[in-house]
């Protein structure tokens, strides 16, 4: 796989965006059939055998290079861009360019029927590294509507899942309104019998209810006998790693935001069992890394026997987010500043800590991440309380409450 990926990357370096759009049209019926087959294998491998997914992508791209482009070539180029922005390549510029090429090719071929597939990759995995989360959000709703009108119910539902994922983990949209939308989306998925996507949506619905403080079983909307526990057990038994990963991330996120740090730490460690199965990163996985860093720095300040381990995780997270913030200051800098503030708290660097907390609050406010502005205010208040600056801490806690 490494040889094939290197060959493809070297090939793209020799071509600019215009060259890629000038590839001839695919005419060979056998190659068109092969692209259709690989297109189906692409989705199945992503869910059930993630390690095979890049191989399928590379083959689709190779066929397009050698035999010309078809409608599915646009999706293949987008998937290749998704691979470029992911571990271990992290080629954000190259991946973003491939996303632009994929969109341009779709328009050039008038292949609007592939919008649901294309947008799931371009706006769910690629553009999130370069453009504001909020700018990507509406594209998933657009793609879901196209999918419903063209009969692509699988990717119509996929885009609804991506919308909810980004709305919660990335944008911090008002959960009261989102909760009503999710019920509608769940019924659409159930009507189309999209089993794996129903489970994904159920997990996100449970996340919404938990964050709102409701003691309801979101899975009962799909199956009365199902719960988050039974869903996880079934996914673990059948090696459905993506579902296991999503539940671990969800539990960690709820525990962190609710202040149950011991549970958050437990989920942080459990998540590691599933985090290497796929190179792709949804917004939930990206922000899960941020939560890992916050958990690590919290426990490093406890100065226990595992302080060195937690500190190392906190430092590596800061390094990772420093790279990411260079790609998109809008999406990442407020969280980077908060990680740096918590690290300064650990190292007893008072001046740096306050400056970084304030920078995080300002960036979150400027970039419309209201939930993370509130988080930064709360963490600043906790720091000031630790420093016995009670009046300042109280003011910060009040600011945090306003963000609810």
Q: Quick check: 144 pLDDT over 50?
A: yes
Taking residues 29-38, what's their average pLDDT?
97
Give Cα separations from 50 to 157, 161, 274, 280 (angstroms): 20, 19, 11, 9
Backbone angles phi, psi at 25, to 5 degrees: -80, 140
Taking residues 331-337, what's their average pLDDT?
98
Q: Quick check: 393 pLDDT over 70?
A: yes
What is the per-residue pLDDT for 18?
A: 82
What is the per-residue pLDDT for 241?
A: 84
Q: Quick check: 311 pLDDT over 90?
A: yes
Taking residues 38-65, what's their average pLDDT?
88
For 250-260, write each residue's pLDDT tens digit. Answer: 999 999 999 99
Q: Quick check: 276 pLDDT over 60?
A: no
**47-51, 168-172, 312-316, 343-347: the lowest-pLDDT one:** 47-51
Contact criterion met (CB below 8 Å) for 360 and 334: yes
pLDDT band for position 280 (cuts 50, 70, 90): low
Q: Quick check: 35 pLDDT over 50?
A: yes
Where b means 16+ CB within 10 Å and e means fewer, 203-234 reads: bbbbbbbbbeeeeeebbebbeeebbbeebbee
What is the per-residue pLDDT for 277?
A: 45
Q: Quick check: 353 pLDDT over 70?
A: yes
For 217-232, write each residue's pLDDT tens digit. Answer: 999 988 888 999 999 9
What is the per-residue pLDDT for 15?
A: 63
- Higher-scoring residue by pLDDT: 241, 70: 70
Give me the torsion for CA of 162, 166, 169, 175, rounded to 10°.
-100
Q: Quick check: 202 pLDDT over 70?
A: yes
What is the per-residue pLDDT for 237?
A: 94
Q: Quick check: 14 pLDDT over 90?
A: no
Across 82-96, 184-198, 215-229, 330-344, the highest mean pLDDT is recorded for: 330-344
What is the per-residue pLDDT for 7?
A: 62
Residues near 160 by beta carbon (within 8 Å), at least 6 away in sequence: 140, 141, 144, 185, 188, 189, 201
Question: What's the chain's average pLDDT?
Answer: 93
Taking residues 165-171, what's their average pLDDT?
97
Q: Quick check: 107 pLDDT over 90?
A: yes
**Pair of tokens at residue 337:** 């500043």
What is the per-residue pLDDT for 10?
A: 61
| Owner of token pair 């060959």 | 7
Cα distance between residue 340 and residue 133, in whole Å: 22
pLDDT band for position 3 (cuts 50, 70, 90): low
For 120-130, write each residue's pLDDT tens digit. Answer: 999 999 999 99
Taking residues 9-14, what's their average pLDDT?
60
Q: Quick check: 279 pLDDT over 60?
A: no
């Amino acid at each position: 796989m490494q040889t094939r990926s290197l060959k493809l990357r070297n090939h793209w370096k020799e071509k600019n965006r215009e060259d890629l759009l000038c590839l001839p049209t695919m005419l060979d019926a056998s190659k068109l059939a092969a692209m259709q087959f690989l297109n189906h294998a692409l989705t199945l491998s992503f869910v059930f055998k993630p390690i095979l997914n890049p191989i399928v992508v590379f083959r689709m791209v190779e066929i397009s290079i050698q035999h010309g482009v078809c409608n599915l070539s646009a999706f293949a180029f987008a998937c290749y861009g998704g691979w470029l922005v992911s571990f271990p390549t992290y080629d954000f510029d190259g991946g973003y360019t491939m996303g632009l090429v994929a969109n341009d090719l779709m328009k050039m071929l008038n292949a609007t029927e592939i919008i649901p597939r294309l947008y799931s990759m371009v706006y769910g995995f690629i553009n999130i590294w370069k453009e504001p989360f909020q700018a990507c959000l509406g594209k998933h709703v657009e793609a879901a509507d196209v999918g419903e009108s063209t009969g692509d119910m699988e990717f119509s539902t996929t885009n609804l899942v991506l919308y909810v994922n980004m709305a919660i983990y990335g944008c911090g949209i008002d959960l009261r309104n989102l909760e009503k939308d999710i019920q509608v989306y769940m019924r659409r998925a159930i009507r189309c019998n999209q089993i794996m996507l129903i489970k994904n949506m159920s997990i996100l619905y449970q996340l919404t209810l938990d964050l709102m403080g409701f003691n309801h079983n979101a899975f009962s909307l799909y199956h009365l006998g199902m719960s988050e526990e039974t869903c996880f057990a079934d996914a673990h038994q059948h090696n459905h790693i993506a579902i296991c990963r999503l539940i671990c991330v969800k539990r960690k996120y709820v525990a962190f935001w609710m202040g149950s740090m011991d549970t958050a730490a437990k989920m942080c460690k459990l998540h590691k069992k599933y985090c290497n199965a796929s190179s792709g990163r949804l917004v939930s996985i990206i922000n899960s890394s941020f939560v890992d860093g916050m958990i690590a720095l919290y426990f490093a300040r406890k100065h226990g026997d595992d302080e060195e381990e937690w500190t190392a995780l906190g430092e590596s997270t800061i390094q990772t987010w420093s790279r990411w913030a260079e790609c998109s200051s809008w999406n990442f800098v407020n969280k980077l500043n908060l990680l740096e503030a918590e690290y300064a708290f650990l190292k007893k660097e008072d001046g740096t800590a306050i400056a970084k907390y304030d920078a995080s609050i300002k960036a979150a406010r400027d970039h419309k991440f209201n939930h993370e502005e509130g988080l930064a205010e709360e963490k600043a208040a906790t720091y000031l309380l630790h420093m016995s600056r009670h009046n300042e801490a109280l003011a910060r806690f009040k600011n945090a409450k306003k963000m609810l």
